[in-house]
């Protein structure tokens, strides 16, 4: 797998600096162009993009992208879906909710993306134990470690299966 294009809706996203350091092209998008046009499809075609791998992208996928990339848009979620998924459930919001519910475990989910938040088919989940004394920040660190460990591996497996 190769990273051929980084797309962001945030000018200050740290990934843009990493992309520049590795000479990976970038594309900054606006909500208006993302939802009201299909211009992004031309950029994806130009860069020969086969999969869209999301990380920290919080916008809902428009139908035209889901149609163009069926079962080839992947996202990572900092909880064990279907719990703690859906609109507004991202980042520390998730970890605060897990903590408030006094869960004994948390984890991460890797899933395909459709036109609904956190609704696509699950590809993989990994769990971690959490203690009632763990604040949301510690839960976040435990889950992030799982994300870093498994996301690249699962993406590679997904791509290998399609070859």
Return the active site residues: 77
Alpha carbon distance 111, 11 (integer Å): 26
Q: Which two tokens stand for residue 5?
A: 């294009």
Three-state secondary structure call for residue 108: strand
Provide DSSP, 24-77.
--EEE--HHHHHH--THHHHHHHTT---EE-SS--SPPPHHHHHHSTT-EEEEE
Alpha carbon distance 25, 45 (integer Å): 14
């Amino acid at each position: 797998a190769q990273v051929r294009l980084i797309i962001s809706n945030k000018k200050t996203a740290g990934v843009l600096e990493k992309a520049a350091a590795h000479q990976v092209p970038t594309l900054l998008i606006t909500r208006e162009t993302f939802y009201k046009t299909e211009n992004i499809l031309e950029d994806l075609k130009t860069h020969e993009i086969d999969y869209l791998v999301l990380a920290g992208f919080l916008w809902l996928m428009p139908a035209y992208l889901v149609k163009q990339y069926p079962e080839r848009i992947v996202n990572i979620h900092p909880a064990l879906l279907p719990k703690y998924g859906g609109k507004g459930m991202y980042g520390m919001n998730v970890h605060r909710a897990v903590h408030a519910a006094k869960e004994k475990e948390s984890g991460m989910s890797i899933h395909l993306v459709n036109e609904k938040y956190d609704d696509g088919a699950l590809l993989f989940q990994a769990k971690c134990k959490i203690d009632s004394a763990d604040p949301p920040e510690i839960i976040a660190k435990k889950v992030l470690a799982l994300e870093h460990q498994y996301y690249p591996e699962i993406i590679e497996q997904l791509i290998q299966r399609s070859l």
